[in-house]
Amino acid sequence: MSETIELSKYVLSEDEEFMNPNQQAYFRAKLINWKNEILREARETLGHLAEESANHPDLADRASSETDRAIELRARDRQRKLISKIDAALQRIEDGTYGYCEETGEPIGLKRLDARPIATLSIEAQERHERREKVYRDE
């Protein structure tokens, strides 16, 4: 079984067996790289926020700084949630359920997984889910 794979050299192929060891290694590497990038950005943000914590004598500067800080913190919160989805996807790779729709059990599709590696629903199931959501939201 391939434990590691070079993302830039491996090309996903529909001709291969779905979720073979190479595909699992590819998605594992992709998810880990994505998570590491998010964590790196979070560290940079924390450093930036610590530098910006200076008291601004001008009210407009202070308000602008507080707004920027609130936006950064909201973005970090979204990324924290994204990391938990990435961790869940990595766990699905380990337990052999990665790449299969949680609703139908059918393969999700390599193009969709490559575009959104944390996907848990096939395109068809996701569309059904969004239509149901829209119906309930419109009521």
- Of the two residues 116 and 45, the one the predictor is more confident about is 116
Is 50 exceeded by the pLDDT of residue 98?
yes
pLDDT, position 30: 96
Tell me the H-state helices in the chain: 21-51, 59-95, 110-115, 123-138
Q: Find the mean pLDDT for residues 110-116.
A: 96
* pLDDT band at 1; cut points 50, 70, 90: very low
pTM for the model: 0.78
Q: Torsion angle, CA of 32/33/35/37, rounded to 10 degrees?
A: 160
Mean pLDDT, to the nearest integer, of 72-88? 91
